[in-house]
């Protein structure tokens, strides 16, 4: 099959480069190849069903940016059969460059070394990284679902909106795609949109948080990937095992990636019933603090019945894996997730109002859960509460476990100097109580997770 690149009215030029660019961030190769509607420009599929895309990352990124880049790749790996792998000797590969002041890439596989520009100053967010990498995988679409407001586009920018023959692989138009341009793209008039969704102009477009569920479906359909992970990208929602509350299927593995728009993920189980086996060798659930099975474990293999404590990720990503063997199934699980700021390792937290006086008649609880294999090291930096024998009026109690039935490590009142408390397991609970009289500033504390081994 021949790969024909469309003709564009105008081409933009990247500074310090002779490679022309269109649609703001798409590079056009002088040889004129592109993956627009072009099956032979896809990356080849390996015998094991994965699609390997070798890449070489330039040396111009900080350690933190390299981590973010890896995190962005891991979402592709969890959700699709695309595998970005460090290049060794492969002839065709993408070369990620930190220079140029732009975020831009080619469309599809062009052969040989193909450059992706991810400026280390302005392009290093997960959504932008994934947007540029996805160009290398396929072309996103734009058709009759938006109105282009040409009255706000200067003639020399109009070429960015040329309609292209694209491959939608039969899926619906995706306003929430990480590939979609924002509503004000190339506007020459402040406050005036150039792209207006139809029929509802208030549909949000142009998000750069990360891949959308339809972005994932599009890649999987284009490359005919086998079942991959399911992406849940709302701020809150529900996850259930397949067929819940009927029995889950035999012989299956399911993966859910929760990636909330911001904050951390908090997962609360409502029901849990999974075939019991010793060490959960048969059916099990396992939960990770991040986007892949290589991320730290939040909940190790768990099976049987009963409730699982609330789990909180350290970032906006949490991965749930659910595996069943070939016999005996149960009803599985149901859980809800929300996002927000939870008490995170290394961050200070305080009694309400600190350093101003706390209120009378308070009863507050903080529950801290570390990933499996970690314990909690809590430091009270500053402490002042009403003093009384046995702390009978105001007090802070610290428990070595998830609730008040756990061992009481200390019951504090009065004025105390800084001190550290270590849990023996992966949970700790603080209970702060005040009575109706005499209020002081309370406490300032922080915690870290330390390896239990």
Ligand X SMILES: *[C@@H]1O[C@H](CO)[C@@H](O)[C@H](O)[C@H]1NC(C)=O
Instruction: Using the minimum distance from each CB to ligand X, give the nearer residue, 311 or 444.
Output: 444
Site membership for ligand X, residue 50 (CB under 6 A): no
Among 399, 444, 391, smallest CA distance to 417 is for: 444
**Does residue 302 touch ligand X according to CB under 6 A?**
no
For ligand X, the binding residue among 8, 145, 152, 393 (CB under 6 A) is: 152
180 marked as binding residue: no
The answer to whether residue 253 forms part of the interface with ligand X (CB under 6 A) is no
Query: Which range of residues in 10-18, 152-160, 176-184, 293-301 is near ligand X by CB under 6 A?
Result: 152-160
- Supply 237's token pair: 């929602």
CB of 451 vs ligand X, minimal distance in Å: 8
Cis peptide bond N-terminal to 12, omega within 30: no
Question: Cβ closer to ligand X: 67 or 189?
Answer: 189
Would you say 131 is a known binding-site residue? yes
Which one of 127-135, 242-250, 384-392, 406-414 is the stretch in contact with ligand X (CB under 6 A)? 242-250
Phi, psi of 73 (to 5 degrees): -65, -40
How many residues in the shown chain lie near ligand X by CB under 6 A? 32
Record the tokens describing residue 397, joined without a space. Answer: 């109690």
Residues 174-213 that bind ligand X (CB under 6 A): 188-189
Q: Is 132 a catalytic residue?
A: yes
- Asked whether residue 381 is marked as a ligand-binding residue, the answer is no
* Cβ(63)–Cβ(70) below 8 Å: no
d(CA 330, CA 303): 10
Query: CA torsion 286→287→289→294, rounded to 10°?
Result: 30
Q: Please, which of residues 20-39 interact with ligand X by CB under 6 A?
A: none
Q: 103 vs 23, 74, 119, 125, 385, CA distance in Å?
A: 12, 20, 6, 11, 54
Q: Which of the following is catalytic: 23, 90, 113, 132? A: 132
Question: Contact between 62 and ligand X (CB under 6 A)?
Answer: no
Least Å from the CB of residue 291 to ligand X:
21
Write out 203-218 in H/E/C secondary structure: CCCCCCCCCCHHHHHH
Instruction: Tell me 139's DSSP state.
Output: -
Calculate ∠ Cα 183-184-185, nearest 5°: 95
Give me 192's structure tokens: 């005036």
Nearer Cβ to ligand X (5/81): 81
Segment 303 to 362, residues that bind ligand X, using CB under 6 A: 326-327, 329, 338, 347-348
Cα separation, 107 vs 132, whole angstroms: 9
Token couple for 339: 């996002």
- Summarize the annotated binding site for Zn(2+) as residue ranges: 131, 135, 138
Would you tell me which residues interact with ligand X (CB under 6 A)?
A: 56, 58-59, 87, 95, 151-155, 188-189, 234-236, 247, 249-251, 326-327, 329, 338, 347-348, 377, 381, 420, 422, 444, 446, 450
Which residues are catalytically annotated?
Answer: 132
């Amino acid at each position: 099959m021949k790969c024909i690149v469309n003709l564009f009215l105008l081409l933009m030029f990247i500074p310090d480069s002779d490679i022309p660019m269109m649609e703001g961030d798409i590079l056009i190769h002088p040889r004129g190849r592109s993956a627009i509607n072009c099956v032979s420009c896809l990356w080849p599929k390996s015998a094991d069903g994965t699609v390997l895309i070798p890449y070489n990352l330039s040396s111009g990124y900080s350690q933190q940016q390299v981590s973010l880049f890896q995190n962005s790749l891991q979402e592709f790996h969890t959700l699709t059969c695309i595998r970005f792998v460090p290049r060794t000797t492969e002839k065709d590969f993408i070369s990620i460059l930190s220079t140029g002041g732009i975020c831009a890439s080619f469309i599809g596989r062009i052969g040989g070394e193909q450059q992706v520009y991810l400026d280390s100053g302005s392009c290093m967010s997960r959504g932008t990284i994934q947007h540029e990498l996805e160009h290398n995988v396929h072309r996103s679409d734009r058709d009759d679902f938006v109105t282009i407001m040409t009255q706000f586009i200067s003639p020399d920018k109009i070429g960015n909106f040329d309609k292209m023959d694209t491959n939608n692989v039969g899926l619906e138009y995706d306003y929430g795609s990480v590939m979609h341009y924002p509503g004000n793209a190339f506007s020459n008039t402040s406050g005036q949109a150039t792209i207006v969704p139809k029929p509802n102009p208030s549909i949000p477009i142009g998000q750069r948080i990360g891949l959308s569920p339809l972005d994932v479906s599009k890649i999987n359909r284009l490359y005919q990937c086998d079942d991959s992970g399911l992406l849940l990208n709302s701020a809150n929602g529900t996850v259930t095992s397949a067929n819940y509350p009927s029995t889950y299927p035999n012989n299956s593995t399911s993966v859910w990636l929760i990636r909330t728009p911001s904050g951390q993920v908090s997962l609360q189980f409502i029901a849990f019933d999974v075939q019991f086996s010793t060490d959960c060798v048969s059916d099990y659930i396992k939960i990770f603090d991040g986007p892949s099975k290589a991320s730290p474990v939040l909940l190790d293999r768990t099976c049987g019945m009963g409730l699982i404590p609330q789990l909180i990720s350290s970032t906006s990503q949490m991965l749930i894996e659910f595996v069943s063997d070939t016999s005996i199934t149960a009803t599985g699980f149901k859980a809800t997730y929300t996002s927000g700021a939870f008490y995170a390792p290394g961050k200070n937290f305080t009694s309400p109002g600190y350093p101003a006086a706390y209120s009378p008649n308070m009863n507050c609880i903080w529950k801290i859960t570390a990933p499996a294999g970690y314990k909690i090291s809590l430091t009270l930096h500053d402490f002042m509460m009403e003093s009384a024998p046995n702390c009978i009026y105001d007090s802070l109690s610290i428990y070595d476990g998830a609730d008040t039935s756990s061992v009481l490590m200390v019951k504090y009142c009065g004025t105390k100097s800084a001190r550290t408390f270590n849990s023996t397991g992966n949970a700790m609970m603080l209970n702060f109580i005040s009575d109706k009289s005499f209020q002081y500033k309370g406490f300032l504390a922080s915690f870290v997770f330390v390896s239990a081994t």
